[in-house]
């Protein structure tokens, strides 16, 4: 299952902003292509993404699942109970909806706020009917178990791709314990589309142009893996992006993958990955290619 991620819609960290109409058209292209859920957050463009999502879902609300997140201070509203309640009301207002389908803690607090206090506030929002499901993002197993002691964690949103499989065991465990997993960065922020090379120049403001760690810090390794995937994509008559997305949702524990773009054409192509079936021999072939890195 493929969903639409609205981080890029916020504009910040992705280079010069596209016009609102272009961004909204990309979201609507996703919905028209069969994608029925969208994920955003209060920190994406400091509310810009949520406001654009509101315009995109107008007239379609009943057919869509809308997810958003509250972040720790100072980037977000904060994870104290009263801050979470205020953040939820703020997101509801910007999104123009009466309830949030999935509300998530965006990443762990590092200022000493007990996760039990934050999660307790999330359960109160659920009990009040302001949110339907509650989840976390960028959490480890210990934090999830502390939340589960209070109430089931409905979902984990975690970075996971062919180029970043560090949390594979955590994701598998979540699947075994009834926590759905939404993966972000399944295209490795563009690397797995095949459109990025060693000579690629990113627009001013695009975080990928200054990244010196992680996937972009070890670009030779990342591109070598992409090259090993090309013959498989050619054989299956699909794009590299579709192959990467299909692989992602076939992994144990993964419920769905977020694919965001401000390009309507890319969105339509990504949506088609949800129909791509990978048999066991192909999955083993792909895993072997990844293990060679």
Over the stretch 161-185, which tens digit does the pLDDT of each residue have? 999 999 999 999 999 999 999 999 9
Residue 58 to residue 179: CA distance in whole angstroms: 30
Torsion over CA: 130, 133, 139, 145 (sign):
positive
Among residues 37, 44, 107, 216, the one annotated as catalytic is 44
pLDDT band at 292 (very low <50, low <70, confident <90, very high): confident
Can you list the alpha helix ranges (DSSP code H) found in the chain? 20-32, 48-57, 81-95, 115-127, 141-148, 168-176, 214-217, 219-236, 240-249, 264-271, 280-291
Measure the CA–CA gap between 202 and 211, rounded to whole angstroms.
11
CA distance to 24, 41, 124, 268, per residue, from 29 (Å): 9, 20, 35, 6
Q: Which residue has the higher pLDDT, 277 or 17?
A: 277
CB-based contact 271:33 (threshold 8 Å): yes
**Cα separation, 68 vs 38, whole angstroms:** 9
The domain 2-189+251-276: what is its CATH number?
3.20.20.100
Q: What pLDDT, on a 0 to 100 scale, did the predictor assign at position 14?
A: 46
Place of tokens 């109970």: 81
The Cα–Cα gap between 137 and 135 comes to: 7
The SS3 call for residue 13 is coil
Cα distance between residue 48 and residue 54, in whole Å: 10
What pLDDT does 207 receive? 62
Residue 163: CB partners within 8 Å, gap ≥ 6?
188, 191, 192, 215, 222, 225
Tell me the chain's radius of gyration from C-alpha atoms. 19
**pLDDT tens profile 116-165:** 999 999 999 999 999 999 999 999 999 999 999 999 999 999 999 999 99
Q: How far apart are the first and last CA of the chain?
A: 27
Domain extents in the chain: 2-189+251-276
Q: Looking at residue 293, what is its pLDDT?
A: 60
In the residue annotation, 44 being an active-site residue is answered as: yes
Please work out, in degrees rounded to the nearest 5, the angle formed at the alpha carbon of residue 10 by the alpha carbons of 239 and 205.
Answer: 80
């Amino acid at each position: 299952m493929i969903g639409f991620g609205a981080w890029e819609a916020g504009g910040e960290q992705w280079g010069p902003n596209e016009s609102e109409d272009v961004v909204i058209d990309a979201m609507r292209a996703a919905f028209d292509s069969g994608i029925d859920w969208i994920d955003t957050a209060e920190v994406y463009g400091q509310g810009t993404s949520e406001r654009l999502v509101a315009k995109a879902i107008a007239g379609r609300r009943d057919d869509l699942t809308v997810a958003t997140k509250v972040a720790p201070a100072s980037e977000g509203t904060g994870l104290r109970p009263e801050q979470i309640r205020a953040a939820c009301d703020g997101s509801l207002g910007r999104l123009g909806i009466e309830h949030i389908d999935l509300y998530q803690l965006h990443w762990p607090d590092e200022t000493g706020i007990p996760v039990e206090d934050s999660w307790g506030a999330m359960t109160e929002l659920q009990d009040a009917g302001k949110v339907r499901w509650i989840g976390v993002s960028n959490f480890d197993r210990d934090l999830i178990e502390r939340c589960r002691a209070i109430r089931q964690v409905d979902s984990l949103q975690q970075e996971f791709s062919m180029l970043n499989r560090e949390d594979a065991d955590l994701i598998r465990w979540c699947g075994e314990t009834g926590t759905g997993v939404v993966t972000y960065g399944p295209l490795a922020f563009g690397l797995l589309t095949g459109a990025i090379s060693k000579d690629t120049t990113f627009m001013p403001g695009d975080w990928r142009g200054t990244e010196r760690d992680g996937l972009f810090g070890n670009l030779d390794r990342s591109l070598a893996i992409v090259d090993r995937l090309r013959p498989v994509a050619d054989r299956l008559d699909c794009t590299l992006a579709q192959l990467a997305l299909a692989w992602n949702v076939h992994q144990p524990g993964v419920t769905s993958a977020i694919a965001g773009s401000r390009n309507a054409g890319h969105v339509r192509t990504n949506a088609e990955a949800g129909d791509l079936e990978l048999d066991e021999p192909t999955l083993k072939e792909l895993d072997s290619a990844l293990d060679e890195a």
